[in-house]
Amino acid sequence: AALREGPVQLGFWLALAHPDIAEICAGHGYDWLLIDGEHGPQTLPGIVAQLRAVEATPPCSAIVRIAGHDPVAIKQVLDLGAQT
């Protein structure tokens, strides 16, 4: 919705795989944070912890980038609560 409204969206890529880092970055006013599961040492429990940290800091949104095109991995991340 924010993209349709026109203002520039600022974001940040998270590769450190720690919810504290996600919380700190979300609190700095970014519109979105990308949890990088392709180049970062991400695990499913780590991703869900980061999603929760970002969700607790509106209006920042989380995006999850998974390591490949595996439908099972995509479903797992969506089941964790990722919307994108």
| Residue 39 known to be catalytic | yes
In degrees, rounded to 5, the angle at the alpha carbon of residue 4 between the alpha carbons of residues 82 and 15 is: 35
Give CA–CA dist 41/60, Å, rounded: 22
CA 68 to chain centre: 16
The active-site residue out of 18, 28, 39, 69 is 39
b (16+ CB within 10 A) / e for 34-65: bbbbeebebeeebbbbbbebbeebeebbbbbb
Catalytic residues: 39
